Structure 1
């Protein structure tokens, strides 16, 4: 049964007159013997209607008539609707101060609860009726009892609605640390909903700024999550600790919440006061992870700019994530790769075997191009000595282990070599590093010819020559005609130039333009005359399958 909609044919004559506030008609009907206690489909009688309408005169007359009923005045004034609402509740809910005063004088139950656990005081607080609240408090209304299914008090509701003057009144008489069913205090509510003035009133009244909810969330965390800058600033300025763990699952801090939801100004403030142990510390989680998870590239950018490590800590045991870059790559559902991937690569994030798979085990080259845009492949002798410098020509130099893993993945992804081989060689990778038995056995004919054009094909080791001879016999390789001859002098010269300058400088800088040779030879010296191998496209398996297959079948090939 619907107890909220009023059906006109069920309303008594006196109640209808009271609703319209027509005192003369109410008096006339009462004098003619019409009942003031007849109820409509909602359980409302004439007193309920008069109280809700705010008609003090009608309430007086109806109370007088109700006093003569068999139940008496006290019972009548406290009669309830089907929703458990008294006339006092209805009047307080609508801010009718004079009516509330009159009903209290008639001994209305000031703390009567409705079916949904409201009361006159809670209703007045909800509506923001300050004078009604003051009257009810003066008459002894209970202030700390819980209301609603979530166990909020009047103070919770006043804060939620932003009724700062009422909060100021209640803060002097209420328990400031009263908690709802989630152990949320009124101050927490102020922080959550950005009620700055209410927050200041509660803090100045002595409320605990470091209170924690059942899930360990603090007011500072929730304000950071919601992006309430003024509340964040006020809490920090009044002793809120930004380094308190706010989760049972992992040590979440307010900085994580700001990063996750992209509140940049809040994030900037928290970076300045948060312990940097969260960035690299064991058992911690860098805020980079949550920023990447929620695709908040602006947060990623700010964290990296402020010195947070692009590698962070290994969170495999906490979140099942190895590094920010691996997480960003697996979070990219479509090409091109996310802005976060670019930011991490540009910041020098370390590249693992799995990261190289994303770049090489595909017929798309956008990620590999992105990596090579920001990373420098060192020359072989530097790798052998493992003494690479951190930056070269404005780019981060690949570490020895990164190059090893690059080559390992490349030699296990020969199927895609037509895509990645030209890019790596033009980026300064020493081609001899790829002259491995597996490469010569598995590469298709065009790819193999392309690679051989970058080396002295006449002085390959006997095992490699044996592989080429066998493939020629089996007709799985069709060599270029000039491979049967000794390389020409010009080719030998450019190999020597590359050896002297280093493949990195030769292929990636304008050092060739500074040599005392005709400009027509510049392209030749940089091997630009060699046509790239064509890629035969075949629908690849999903990358997840290739990652799993690589982990289970790949061999570590010792090439350095």
Structure 2
């Protein structure tokens, strides 16, 4: 049924005339004996129609008739008529207030209209006037004793909540003098919180200047500063900070979430910049805390990641396994992009020197894609074995961070576990300066494809291998699982021995990754030979790899540490 339509057989002629605002017609019908009490299918009578239409004249005619019919304006019957309700619980006063009809409300109040009558949905004339932004009407209702702190709607908002939400700053200016500034709804949200959430800066300033608590917390411990930071309301954030808002107040029951986390997560760079300057850095590395880097990575907020790293936040942060189930920012960033090329966040973290764990190396090595491994070696330097120490301090070589001892150990352990993909990663590792002897392990020689094995042997003096390794090669030759290059059966050429010696003296890192070879007193055609460029790369011919996530699980269940350093 359409309750917006008044059907001809149910609406009275007086109500129809009142709706059109025709005072003369209303008076004429009343004089002819037409009733002002007849209701339509919504429960509306003539007074409701006149009040909603804002026709003061029609309201006056109807009230005069009702007064005469009910034996005087002081009678119980007359007051009952003035306060009669529609099926939705709306009084004539409410309908007039809802539409901002000031003169009609004044007239109805003189006729003893109930100023605090609630509708079925818990609204009232004052709440309706506030919602509509009718300042003069609000002033009238407040001056006549309207209840200002009553809760309305299913969320238990007060009139002040609604005024702030709608941004009616002039009405807020009126209400702060009579309302409870700290009134909260069913989620313990105050009007000031609402102002911060919806970016109502003028209302926020009025509330703060009136004495509202800037650090009030909702049921979930969120503060106005947190919600303003989450929504990116820069002006509100600045105002709150300038007036005592605490950026280091924990805003979550689960873990110590701060406003800086919200700004980082939602990529509000201006807000983030302001909060970085005032937030305690314990959130970056402190135990039991969570670096905002994790939240920025979660939402792929690359600019947030970039700003945090630039401002000195650690690319390693703290281990949040017990809080969020996350080991490190880099591991988290890699897990977000395991089935696609590495993200900008991964690039930023690697460039900033994030420590590489075993799990991180899996993402780089357990795949036929080499983009991540290439990225790592754009920013990291493989040290010579003789220079490795257990020193955990960050050192640099040619402007790039050097892999620490544990990182190199993890790299080799993962590499020897991911021999299936050696055709992809082996050329990159050797060209990046990895000492090939570190891969001359029994497991490597037993499992590597024939082509991969030949490629590795090209970087060493195959005639000087240990008896154990030679025995493995002989067994594979007999079993026909390895087809050696023809020259492996010959005496190692002097030219190859010479380039191995040059590599040993200069170090594979300098030889393979710098222009040092061009400074040697040798003919330029030899430069490529000295850098092993005459050895063609291997090719990957296996079936498509399974998802990295599956590979990580297999690695965890079958991994054995291979101590190669």
Q: 2:446 aligns with which of 441, 446, 449?
A: 441
2: CA distance, partners of 1:136 / 1:496: 96
Shift of 1:9: 4.6
**Does 1:198 pair with 2:203?**
yes
CA contact (8 A) 2:390 2:405 kept: no
Shift of 1:539: 2.1
State the aligned residue count.
560
Aligned to 1:41: 41
Q: 2:120 aligns with which of 112, 115, 121?
A: 115
Aligned to 1:87: 92
Secondary structure of 2:177's counterpart equals coil
Secondary structure of 1:490's counterpart equals helix
Shift of 1:388: 7.8
Secondary structure of 1:396's counterpart equals strand
Matches within 5 A, 1:161-560: 161-332=166-337, 334-383=339-388, 390-560=395-565
CA contact (8 A) 2:339 2:548 kept: no
2: CA distance, partners of 1:246 / 1:385: 40
Q: Deviations over 1:163-202 (max 9, x none)?
A: 0000000000111000100000000000000000000000
2: CA distance, partners of 1:335 / 1:524: 36
1: CA distance, partners of 2:249 / 2:241: 12
Secondary structure of 1:84's counterpart equals coil
1: CA distance, partners of 2:244 / 2:393: 46
Aligned to 2:61: 61
157 and 388 in structure 1: CA distance in 2 versus 1, 3 angstrom threshold:
closer
2: CA distance, partners of 1:241 / 1:97: 43
Aligned to 1:28: 28
2: CA distance, partners of 1:336 / 1:417: 19
101 and 499 in structure 1: CA distance in 2 versus 1, 3 angstrom threshold:
same
- Give the CA RMSD over aligned residues: 1.2
CA contact (8 A) 1:67 1:76 kept: no
Shift of 1:11: 2.1
CA contact (8 A) 1:382 1:388 kept: no
2: CA distance, partners of 1:2 / 1:202: 43
525 and 173 in structure 1: CA distance in 2 versus 1, 3 angstrom threshold:
same
**Structure 1, unaligned runs of 5 or more:** none
Aligned to 2:10: 10
Shift of 1:507: 0.2
**TM-score for both structures, normalised by structure 2:** 0.98
2: CA distance, partners of 1:300 / 1:176: 38
Shift of 1:513: 0.6
Aligned to 2:73: none
Shift of 1:12: 1.3
**Structure 2, unaligned runs of 5 or more:** 71-75
543 and 387 in structure 1: CA distance in 2 versus 1, 3 angstrom threshold:
closer
Q: Deviations over 1:330-370 (max 9, x none)?
A: 11154211111111111100000000001001111111111
Shift of 1:162: 0.3
Secondary structure of 1:11's counterpart equals coil
**TM-score for both structures, normalised by structure 1:** 0.98
Q: Deviations over 1:139-160 (max 9, x none)?
A: 1001001000000000000000
CA contact (8 A) 2:338 2:549 kept: no
1: CA distance, partners of 2:181 / 2:267: 32
Secondary structure of 1:517's counterpart equals coil
447 and 202 in structure 1: CA distance in 2 versus 1, 3 angstrom threshold:
same
